Amino acid sequence: MPIYEYQCRACGNQFEYLVLPSTPDAACPSCQSRELEQLLSLFGTTTDHAQRSFRNDMSKNRKEFQGDRAQTEQRIRNED
């Protein structure tokens, strides 16, 4: 059974989500956002090579995500 790991773009929460044909699209359990970043699959069907390039993409995306998040946190602080 494929279990996917996601990080919520809205609140940064990381969670694992078991994807079955009957389950709806993943949503963040803490804020119900569907703006999710898919992290490394624990039981992927991809080849090693594909996983490596996927991982490279992820680390790139994660850097961008952290930049976004810092900006968001700054915006929230300014609103306070």
Residues in touch with Zn ion (CB under 5 A):
8, 10-11, 13, 28, 30-31, 33
| Closest separation in Å from C-beta 29 to Zn ion | 8
User: With respect to Zn ion, which residue has the nearer C-beta, 33 or 66?
Assistant: 33
| Closest separation in Å from C-beta 59 to Zn ion | 21
User: With respect to Zn ion, which residue has the nearer C-beta, 33 or 71?
Assistant: 33
User: With respect to Zn ion, which residue has the nearer C-beta, 48 or 64?
Assistant: 64
For residue 6, the tally of other CB atoms under 10 A from its CB is 19
